[in-house]
Amino acid sequence: MNDEATARRQQLGRLLRRARERVRPKLTQKAVAGRLGCGQAKINKIETKLVRIEPSELEILIKLYEVSPQDAVELRKLAALDLQYGPTRTKHSDTMAAFGTLSEVEPEAREIRCWHSERIPGPLQSEMYILEQHRLQLNDTYEITRVLRGWTARTKLFTVPNPPSYRVILSESSFHRMPGGRNAKIVVDQADHLLRLLAAHGQLEVRILTFDADIRYVDSDFQHLLFDEKHAHSEFVYIEYPGGSRKCRTAFELDKCREHWADLSAAALDVADSREFLKGLTRSGQSSDL
Q: Residue 164: pLDDT above 50?
A: yes
Lowest-confidence pick of 16-20, 158-162, 182-186, 227-231:
227-231
pLDDT digits (tens, 9 = 90+) for 48-68: 877 889 899 999 999 999 999
How sure is the predictor about 92, in pLDDT bands with cuts at 50, 70 and 90?
Answer: very low
Q: Which residues of 167-178 are buried (b: 16+ CB within 10 A; e: fewer)?
A: bbbbbbbbbeeb
pLDDT for the residue 154: 78
DSSP string, 4-25: HHHHHHHHHHHHHHHHHHHSSS
- Judging by DSSP bridges, how do beta strands 204-209 and 165-171 pair with one another? parallel
Measured distance CA(46)–CA(9) in Å, rounded: 9
How sure is the predictor about 189, in pLDDT bands with cuts at 50, 70 and 90?
Answer: very high
Contact predicate 170/187, CB 8 Å: no
* pTM over cut 0.75: no
- Which domains does the chain carry? 3-89 (1.10.260.40), 94-289 (3.30.870)
Q: Residue 290: pLDDT above 50?
A: no
Measured distance CA(130)–CA(128) in Å, rounded: 6
pLDDT digits (tens, 9 = 90+) for 29-53: 989 988 888 888 888 888 887 788 9
Angle, alpha carbons 126-129-130 (nearest 5°): 90
Mean pLDDT of 214-219: 92
pLDDT for the residue 289: 46
pLDDT digits (tens, 9 = 90+) for 147-163: 777 778 778 889 989 99
Contact predicate 168/205, CB 8 Å: yes
